Structure 1
């Protein structure tokens, strides 16, 4: 049974790249759905899938985020993981699609949820902007800030995994992934072919997919005149091998299987090995091929 992946807005659900990738459940904000209905919807997801991993950006409205935790608390469920991502909106959407891909593999829900903290290290998320005057997610020098007021200026920005900022010109370069990736591109109110004509070839991307711009992108980047982009590992087998190569542990608090140093379901940090009490029947760490049916 696949783990359910849920999101807080429909524009975080990118089109699947294959017929096996399931969609994500789209939750509703508090002003559009009564608490009772939200509880019923979440209960149904748990009954149908067993576990639910909710992914939302850090820029999510406070009331909406509070609603998510309220639903989890009232249901008293340890089957709901709430994951906050610091990636820009398109980067979050790319991450969500990767989790959707992994959800049909033979990983436990704990590993799928924990993969949300591993995969962002392999996502280069950025944008082309006409101004960085209101950009507050990436450091901007006073000199660069002044240049943003020059008519016709455009800037290439990478927010993750490491911040970068350049003024676009003949010598402009952004450091990118050193492995094969695909590129998702979402166009706002900016005319430029720099992403597809210059950046993509320099990063040696294997394919480019045009997608819709997430609604929150203009606010996140500080301007509606932008083109957002995000590289990602698109191949399921590569994603599978990446996650499977990480040592799996058991959460000392709730017993969920995990990778990394923190459980996404109960948020407890990984207990040092000498203090762990493992339950019987812990699965082996050996990787198996992804399920394809």
Structure 2
């Protein structure tokens, strides 16, 4: 696990989990008294080696918690800025080894740590995902959930779990080739409830269709789709499903006619909103554009004077 943490924060989280696990399990020569020592970190008069080890661990835990608190504050400010700019946030969740990182890589063409191991993803990874229309959203790959997740691990991986809590939409990835896929699904729902993230809109993604069990039956109460993350046509189909859901439940339609000289604004519409149609009217030298945008996006103020009523 330590080797798979790629950021400084990830390494701190793993060290914290290890120290919190080790502290109550320390054993040693509790009756062997040390010599009186001097200097920072040295044993005090009559302090045993066990007591010294415990003191060092407690000090290190305190130090790591301070560093992680600073990181958390920075992430909170960054997340607030994302919300202010109206950026749509998706989080991929699921039982460990369900194929989340494979799907994340396919959706974003990123280089997440893709491996058939427990907790292969130990850092919060957030990347841009571009839909077919050119509209961009943010998507986060998160640590895999497991049954009876220890309290120390929940604290250690809080950064990735917070990405889940702040998401606008969840992709719940389930390994359809695993014999206990229903149990894994229940575990994830229970943990989402503990995280108070169970009311976030969700699409269940049954993955590994190419290895699907003959007795597999979709068990989700949520909308679901059956795919293989390794097939490009399936990933394209999933992106189309996400785009359709965005238009239906999250975004508001707009209709504008923008002068051709407003090239920068037109370009921003293409990247920051979901453009449905774009037609250049040569005689008038204007672009007739329809699409969808978030209610709080700053670009709405810039296009307000060009807006028309949508039929």
Do these two structures clear the TM 0.5 threshold for a shared fold by scoring above it?
no
- Structure number having the greater helix percentage: 2
Higher relative contact order (CA 8 A, sep 6+): 1
How high is the TM-score relative to the length of structure 2?
0.27
